[in-house]
Amino acid sequence: MNTGRLDELSRRQICFNCERSKWKNPEIQVCQNCYTSCTRQKCLHCKEEFSSHKYCQKAQKNYNKIVCMKCANSLATSGSEPRLCRFCACWSAWNGRQECQRCEKSLNKFGAPKNCERCGKNSAFDRGAESRSKVGDLFLCYLCTFEYKKNEYYKNKLLGNSGSTITNTVSDDKPDATTVDSDRYNNLKEQLKSKDREIETLRNEIATVELRYKSDTDNLKRQISSTSDQLRQVVNEFNNYKQIQSAEHMKLVKEKQDYIDDLNIAFAELRQKHEALLLANAQLAKTIETFQESPRKVAKK
């Protein structure tokens, strides 16, 4: 990722997509035209929605998952996968305290969080009564606050469009269409909220499973690599042992063979001496016999 180019665009407040017009604001980082053309996606890690400009798409190709620019930078900087944030339960904690950047900033600014009155997570930081008044005086976490305001925006937009239609069609002798439409809208709204919660829960479960699968896969790869190294070491030690044993065996065989050869030589020498003694004994016996016969011959004469 070309961080130098991104820093230059940020300094000049230029759109990250077309790189020509001024961006809307530092959070969106694209111009108005690109904002309408870029798709809105939700980051796999921090769960925030973002405009998927061309640099986000490059990051998604590199990491093979949907990530915003902040999480992409954290992945590039840390070089490792994040852990689960102990507050919002998003897989976006890159520090040792298991706190994502969003919760870390809120913790330093607003103090310890409370349980969110919508999702139940311990990530609703008290931003004051004025902030709560914008979300129905509820203690909501960052993500639920965003969803609440988004739903209110579309509700007001829908009621504004339906209100103009109802004004032109309602008559005195018919039921109040505004009330009927409002009840229907509230029912649909509750159903939509329920489905949104189910979808969000499934997304979180899928993200958790994917990250755990990746973590388990990485651990398994490391175990396989370690086992392979140990196996190679054992094989090498066994081969060395065989070579050592073979060398010692050959040395022992050679020593035994040399000993046998020495015995054969000694036996041959003893045999020669024995034959020489036998020959000497035969000659001595012959000499003795000759000496014994000599007096007999003299006596006969």
The residue written with tokens 């189910």 in the block is 198
User: Nearest 5 degrees, angle CA 59-CA 64-CA 67?
Assistant: 50
290 token code pair: 């000759």
Q: What is the pLDDT of residue 222?
A: 84
Report domain extents, the chain: 1-80
- CB neighbours of 293 closer than 8 A, spacing ≥ 6? none
User: CA 50, CA 67: separation in Å to the nearest integer?
Assistant: 9
User: CA 185, CA 190: separation in Å to the nearest integer?
Assistant: 9
Residues of the chain below pLDDT 50: 165-180
- Contact indicator for 116, 129 with CB cutoff of 8 Å: no
Q: What is the pLDDT of residue 278?
A: 85
- Contact indicator for 90, 46 with CB cutoff of 8 Å: yes
What percentage of the chain carries pLDDT values higher than 90? 40
Looking at the DSSP bridge assignments, the partners of residue 49 are 42
pLDDT tens by residue, 16-62: 999 999 988 888 899 999 998 999 999 999 999 999 999 999 999 99
Query: Could you say which DSSP state residue 299 is in?
Result: H
The residue written with tokens 């103009």 in the block is 164
Is the pTM higher than 0.85? no
CA distances in angstroms from 113 to 88, 90, 207, listed in the order given: 10, 15, 24
Looking at the DSSP bridge assignments, the partners of residue 88 are none
Q: What is the pLDDT of residue 124?
A: 95
Q: What is the pLDDT of residue 295?
A: 64
To the nearest 10°, report the CA torsion of 168, 173, 174, 178: 50
- CB neighbours of 65 closer than 8 A, spacing ≥ 6? 44, 210
Q: What is the pLDDT of residue 240?
A: 83
How many of the other CB atoms lie within 10 Å of CB of 240? 10
Spell out the alpha helix ranges (H) of the chain: 3-12, 32-37, 54-63, 69-78, 101-110, 129-133, 142-169, 177-300
User: CA 70, CA 27: separation in Å to the nearest integer?
Assistant: 10
172 token code pair: 């005195």
Q: What is the pLDDT of residue 63?
A: 92
Q: Is 41 exposed, middle or buried (0-12, 13-18, 19+ CB in 10 A)?
A: middle
User: CA 84, CA 52: separation in Å to the nearest integer?
Assistant: 24
Handedness of CA 265, 268, 272, 278 (dihedral sign): positive
User: CA 68, CA 38: separation in Å to the nearest integer?
Assistant: 13
